[in-house]
Structure 1
C-alpha cells in the first residue's frame, strides 16, 4: 500500500511516496515555479543522485501529472505505473472549527475547505487546486485531508478567543487557530518517547523552526495554546513575518504611506521579521556571519528574534505548569538555526540549561540531539519535524489500514 502525500502551495508542490507496509520513503521532491513559467521538478530517491527536469506546468494539474510521470519513469521512477498508488493525502492548512481530525475527502469536505479559504487564501486555495487535480488524475483513489489546525482544537476558550467584539467570532470565525499542527503533534509524541513517558503524562513546549516559526504549549499531550493565531502572521518574529506587533501600527502606516490592505499584508508577511530588520532576505546563518563582520542590523535582528522566542517560552511555562522538556523541530533545510542557542543561554533561572557544545553539534547534521546540559532540570531536544510521517499515519488511520 503506497501513499502519495501532497503539500500544494501557490507556485509549488512538495510530494512524497511512502510505502506503508514497509514504513519507508520511496521518493520525494517538489515541482517549483508552477504558473509563473520555467517550472521544474527535483526528484529524490534515497540512496540515488537527485534528478532534475525542466517541464512547463501551467497549473497544479499539470504539476501533479509531472509528478506521476516522474514516479513511474522507467529510468528514475520507483513504481511501474500509478495504479500502484493506493491513496493520496493532502496537507490542508486551515480547517476552521469544523475539522478536529483528518477526514476522507468528499464534496462536502471540499466545500468546507473552500469556506475556510477566506481565513487562509494563500494556503487553502492552492491546497484545493491540488485536491481537484488529484481527483481528476487519480479519480478512483481515496483521498484524505490532513489539517494543520486540527491539533490545536483542544485549546480552551480562554486561549483561542481574542478580546474583540464577540460577534466577530460568531459571524466571521475570528479566533486563534494555530498552524504547524503536524510538526507540533510529532514533536509532542516523540518528546514524550524520549523522556520515557506517555504523552498524557508530559508537559512540553514544542517549537517548530523554519522561515515560519511557531510554539505550542502542550499539557498532558494536548495543545492548550499556540503562538500563531487566525493566520500564520501572529507570534514570534520570523524570517519574513513580523509576529506580534501593536495593531495600531497597521492603520498608522497605511494612512502615512497610502497603502492598501493587500500592500500592508505583503509588508507584514514577506518584508518584515529578520528580512525587514536586515533590509534583505537571508538565512539565519548568513545573518550570523554578517553580524560577525560588523553588520549591526543583522546583529539586532537575530537578538530580537531570540529575545521574543525567550519571552514566549517563559509565558508558556506559566500556563502549562512545570514542564518536562522543550522540543525543537525543524523541516528539511532549516536545521541550521542559531537563534535557538541565543534564546536559551539566559534561562537557567527556569531550570533550562543549554549545553553549547551539543547545540553546536545539532546545527547542520539533521539528526536528533539532546542539547541540554547534564544538570539541566528541563530536557532540551532537537529533532526532524516528522510532518510527513504524521500525514501518512493519518491517511492510514482514516482508511483503517492496520
Structure 2
C-alpha cells in the first residue's frame, strides 16, 4: 500500500460513539469506515469495513479514549496511520462564530465550548473527540466542520424569532439550522447531475433520516431552513415532534404535572414517528406495518409526508424560481413511498412523478419526475467526503506546523 501521507481521518464523535473514516481527498474514495459504538456500556464494540467484509471487535466497557486507541491500532494494522495528513471533525453547533470550516486552535475550541448551551447533547462530545485526537495525533492539523455554518447566510427575516429582541442580543436566541454539511454536498451534486450552474441555482433540499430538515438554497447560499435554535424545530422526525404549540409545555404541566425536563424529553425522544405510531421511529418498519394494515403506522407516515410537503411549499417562497427539489438522507434516498406522497402533495408547484424512476430511486441523473415537470431528484449524501474536502483544502492553504 502507498504510505505517502495523503489521506484525511474524519471523526464524528457522539455521546456514546465515534464514527470514523479514512478518505483520500484526491480520489474521494473511503479506504476504511467504521464506528466505535455503545461506549461506556458492557456491549461496546468497534465495527468497521475496509475493502473486504464488515468486521467487529469487542471493546468490553471502553470509553471514548480507549475506543480511540482501538481505532488507532486498527489504522496501524491496515497501514493507514502513517498516511494521514490531517483530521476533520464534525461539530454540530458553531453558533454565529463560524461561517466556514476552520483549522482548530485554542480559540476555536473555546468557541465550540461556548456553544455548548445551544447543543448540550452534541458539542461536548464533539469537543471530546477533538481533545482525544489531539492527544494521539499531536503532529497532525485538525479541522472543525460545522453543521450550522452553511445556514449563516440566512437573512434576519428568516432566522429571527418574534420574541423580545433582547434574547437575541443577549443570548443569541435565533434559528441556526443543521445538516449544513449534507446540504452543501447534495446541492452541489444535484447541480452537477442536472447540468446547471450551482452559483445560479434555486433549490429545495430535504434531508430525511431519524433527524429531518429542509432548506432553501439560492445561488449556492442557504436562505431559509426548518431546524431552529435546536434540532427539535421543524419537520416531523423519528422521535422529535417538530413544530407544535409552545403552550403545550404549560398544558402538560397543568394536566400531567410534567416538568420542563419531562416535556423536553418527550418531545425529543418519544414523539415524531415513534410517538404517533406507538410502534417505531424507523420508516422501514412503519411502511411494512402500514402495508399490513396498521392504521397508526399509516397515520404516522401520512402526518410525516403532509407536514414535509407543506413546509417545502412554504420554503419555496424564499426562492425566485425552483430548479429542483432534492431528497437525501436515509428516508429521502430509500423511501419511494414517502417521495411519492410528498410529490403528489406538491402538485401546485408543478411536480409530476415518474412512478418507474421513483421506484428505481431516480434515473441516471437521479431524477424522479416526468419531462416537463418541475424537477425532483434523489442524491445520496456524503457528509464524510465533504468534511474530508474541507479539511484537505484548509490544510493545503496552511503552514505545515500543528495548529493547536
Quick one: distance in 1 between partners of 2:212 and 2:221? 19
**Deviating more after overlay: 92-101 vs 181-190:** 181-190
Verify the 8 A CA contact 2:239 2:281 in the aligned structure 1.
Answer: no
Equivalent pairs, count: 393
Verify the 8 A CA contact 2:272 2:281 in the aligned structure 1.
Answer: no
Tell me what 1:355 maps to.
354
Q: Rate the CA distance shift 1:349–1:333 in 2: closer, same or farther, 3 A.
A: closer
Tell me what 1:308 maps to.
307
Offset, 1:240: 0.8
Tell me what 2:288 maps to.
289
> Which structure carries more relative contact order (alpha carbon 8 Å, separation 6+)?
2
Offset, 1:304: 0.3
Q: Rate the CA distance shift 1:333–1:53 in 2: closer, same or farther, 3 A.
A: farther
Q: Rate the CA distance shift 1:65–1:159 in 2: closer, same or farther, 3 A.
A: same
Q: Which runs of 4+ in 1 moved over 4 A?
A: 331-334
Tell me what 1:381 maps to.
377
Q: Rate the CA distance shift 1:185–1:109 in 2: closer, same or farther, 3 A.
A: same
Q: Rate the CA distance shift 1:112–1:274 in 2: closer, same or farther, 3 A.
A: same
**Deviating more after overlay: 59-68 vs 94-103:** 59-68
Unpaired runs of at least 5, structure 2: 1-5, 399-404
The alignment's C-alpha RMSD in Å is 1.9
Offset, 1:333: 10
Structure 2 matches for 1:38-187, cutoff 5 A? 38-46=43-51, 48-73=52-77, 77-79=78-80, 82-187=81-186
Tell me what 1:345 maps to.
344
- Pick aligned residue for 1:394 from 386, 390, 397: 390
Offset, 1:348: 2.4
Corresponding position: 1:10 with 2:15: yes
Offset, 1:100: 0.4
Tell me what 1:31 maps to.
36
Verify the 8 A CA contact 2:279 2:286 in the aligned structure 1.
Answer: no
Corresponding position: 1:372 with 2:369: yes
Unpaired runs of at least 5, structure 1: none
Verify the 8 A CA contact 1:284 1:338 in the aligned structure 2.
Answer: no
Verify the 8 A CA contact 1:285 1:337 in the aligned structure 2.
Answer: no
Tell me what 2:316 maps to.
317
Q: Rate the CA distance shift 1:26–1:401 in 2: closer, same or farther, 3 A.
A: farther
Verify the 8 A CA contact 2:279 2:297 in the aligned structure 1.
Answer: no
Q: Rate the CA distance shift 1:285–1:325 in 2: closer, same or farther, 3 A.
A: same
Tell me what 1:220 maps to.
219
Verify the 8 A CA contact 2:28 2:385 in the aligned structure 1.
Answer: no
**Deviating more after overlay: 296-305 vs 15-24:** 15-24
What is the TM-score of this pair, normalised by structure 2?
A: 0.93
What is the TM-score of this pair, normalised by structure 1?
A: 0.94
Quick one: distance in 2 between partners of 1:129 and 1:154? 28
Structure 2 matches for 1:180-199, cutoff 5 A? 180-199=179-198
Tell me, what secondary structure is at the counterpart of 2:351?
coil
